[in-house]
Amino acid sequence: MSSKMPKDFLWGGAIAAHQAEGAWNVAGRGMSIADVMTAGGNGIPREITRGIKEDVYYPNHEAIDFYHRYKEDIQLFKALGLKCLRTSISWSRIFPTGQEDEPNEAGLQYYDDLFDELLNNGIEPIITLSHFEMPYAIYETYGGFVNKAVIPLFVKFATCVFERYKDKVTYWMTFNEINNQADGQEPLHVWTNSAMIIEEESKKEELVFQAGVNELIASAAAVIEGKKINPDFQIGCMMAYVPIYPYSCAPEDLMASVKANERRYFYSDIHVRGKIPTYTQTYWQQKGIKIQISEEEKALLKAGTVDYIGFSYYMSGTITTLETVEGQPTDDIPHAKIVRNPYITATDWGWPIDPVGLRYVLNTIYQRYDLPLFIVENGFGAYDQLTEENTIHDPYRISYLRQHIEQLEKAVIEDGVPVLGYTPWGIIDIVSFGSGEMEKRYGMIYVDKDNAGNGSLQRLKKDSFAWYQRVIATNGEEL
């Protein structure tokens, strides 16, 4: 076995259309569900408004203006040495309401130009079809993905862009972090995954499961259509993997972690195996949850399985049933709580920092599915200080990424896990999905903009830029 990383390993970076592009109402683009999310803050949730309200700041409307500045940003990505860039296609740029028969040519042309610019600079585009945004009209007309009428609208969008970019894009993903909504506890996740606002609390779990099943059917149908257009397409899913550890060796804690992880596996089990898991069917029966799925739709799930698993990894979680330990109760598991892991530290936003957890996830997921893996998000959100010399020293980000890449390399070289690539999240500072902040920065490229939308949008290289440049140039040998 080689003692080095594969020569064709895809070192890259990741962004998303709604967090970077801006230009929310330019060139025929329709309003998306991301356009009605206000700015929040550290510990302050974002509000979802019904339509656009005057005198309310919506950070995604301008974002970092990547729509107009992508050429200069791509030159920075080229200087960094990126082999790939993960981004997404804004569905409402292509079908403004999702319901049009014909696509918006101006939107299609924009992505032609973007992908050409990337390819001309030696950077491969890695594309997510639905990354926390869909046309707002889908919510207004159908109530979101809980309505099966949305399935053919997504397949129409997917088929359109597959056909248009069949010679420019090889790696695709269908729905970003589709399992974020798994427990239905966060209104923001239910909104961004499925364009749903749940009013009937007693039906919440059933509605979220139904929307998830509909998205999985839509994903499978899209995979089938994509393979007809280009059999060489590699079409994957995209999961948020947060492994849940038992707090103690008490058998009850171990079982609580098993049950908590099942919620996370439900989506990828169907993406990969093409059928509803028995453990989920049992749960539905116990809870009286009724899910609408036809035999024809079950056949689609079976036929439209994915080629690889893309996933994000930021942190792990820890669960206990011990009454002597304080924690956050979880609706998933009766008598269980999510607790702080005493063996790891946390970010400014309270996210646990657990590099070994990445190696654990890589091994666990590969053993479960026997498919290639792609780490398409991993990163460190922090407050960065701009010095008087216009520099940003971010040793904390370098330390976080170095430790995670060390564990990635152990998984590949020592454990034999096939990993296609690594695209750290927010390679350039972008609007935070969770909080709507600009000051929760992930990037190796600083963008001069604050939480209120003020700033020149000037781009500056952080210390981590030169560090990651060296990592890529040495194929991960110099960390």
Cα separation of 126 and 168, whole Å?
Answer: 10
pLDDT at 184: 65
From 177, 205, 225, 437, the catalytic residue: 177
Cα separation of 424 and 229, whole Å?
Answer: 30
State how many domains the chain has. 1
pLDDT at 257: 96
Considering the domain boundaries, does residue 478 fall inside one?
no
424: helix, strand or coil: coil
User: What percent of the chain is helix, strand and coil (3-state, nearest 5)?
Assistant: 40, 15, 45
Q: What are phi and psi of 272, to 5 degrees?
A: -95, -45
Considering the domain boundaries, does residue 285 fall inside one?
yes
Strands 345-346 and 234-240: unpaired
Helices 204-229 and 187-194: crossing angle in degrees, nearest 10, is 30
pLDDT at 199: 87
Q: Which residues contact 173 (CB under 8 A, 6 or more apart)?
A: 126, 127, 128, 129, 235, 236, 237, 238, 310, 376
Which residue in this structure is represented by tokens 């309003």?
A: 31
Determine the distance from the C-alpha atom of residue 331 to the mean position of all C-alpha atoms in its chain, rounded to a whole number: 24
Considering the domain boundaries, does residue 5 fall inside one?
no
Tokens for 258, please give them: 């098993």
Tokens for 394, please give them: 């971010």
User: Which has the closest alpha carbon to 376: 53, 86, 60?
Assistant: 86
Considering the domain boundaries, does residue 479 fall inside one?
no
Helix (H) or strand (E) run with residue 109 in it? helix 105-120
CB 190 within 8 A of CB 208: yes
DSSP string, 335-358: T-EE---TTSEE-TT--EE-HHHH
Q: What is the CATH number of the domain that holds 448?
A: 3.20.20.80
Considering the domain boundaries, does residue 429 fall inside one?
yes
Q: Which residues contact 319 (CB under 8 A, 6 or more apart)?
A: 244, 245, 246, 247, 253, 256, 257, 260, 330, 333, 336, 337, 338, 339
pLDDT at 207: 95
Residues belonging to the chain: 479
Cα separation of 269 and 262, whole Å?
Answer: 9
Strands 124-130 and 84-88: parallel
Report the Cα–Cα distance between both ends of the chain, in Å, rounded: 21
CB 24 within 8 A of CB 436: no
Is 65 buried (19+), middle (13-18) or exposed (0-12) by CB count in 10 A?
middle
Whether residue 377 lies in the annotated active site: yes
pLDDT at 172: 99
CB 426 within 8 A of CB 14: yes
DSSP symbol at 44: B
DSSP symbol at 46: P
pLDDT at 444: 98
Cα separation of 94 and 160, whole Å?
Answer: 9
Considering the domain boundaries, does residue 241 fall inside one?
yes
Considering the domain boundaries, does residue 4 fall inside one?
no
CB 80 within 8 A of CB 19: no
Which residue in this structure is represented by tokens 């993406």?
A: 271
Mean pLDDT of each 10-residue bin along the chain, 479 residues long: 89 99 98 97 92 96 99 99 99 99 99 99 99 98 98 99 99 97 82 92 92 98 99 98 96 95 93 98 96 98 99 96 91 87 87 95 98 98 94 96 98 99 98 94 98 97 99 98
Is 138 buried (19+), middle (13-18) or exposed (0-12) by CB count in 10 A?
buried
Tokens for 350, please give them: 């309270």
Q: What are phi and psi of 57, to 5 degrees?
A: -90, 125
Helix (H) or strand (E) run with residue 67 in it? helix 66-80
From 21, 205, 377, 409, the catalytic residue: 377
Cα separation of 32 and 24, whole Å?
Answer: 8
Residue 403's alpha-carbon distances to 244, 359, 410, in angstroms, are 20, 11, 11
Considering the domain boundaries, does residue 1 fall inside one?
no
Whether residue 252 lies in the annotated active site: no
Whole domain around residue 57: which residue ranges?
10-473
What is the C-alpha R_g of the chain?
Answer: 21
Cα separation of 468 and 59, whole Å?
Answer: 28
DSSP symbol at 412: I
CA dihedral 183, 187, 191, 196 (to 10 degrees): 80
DSSP symbol at 36: G
User: Which has the closest alpha carbon to 313: 240, 407, 372?
Assistant: 240
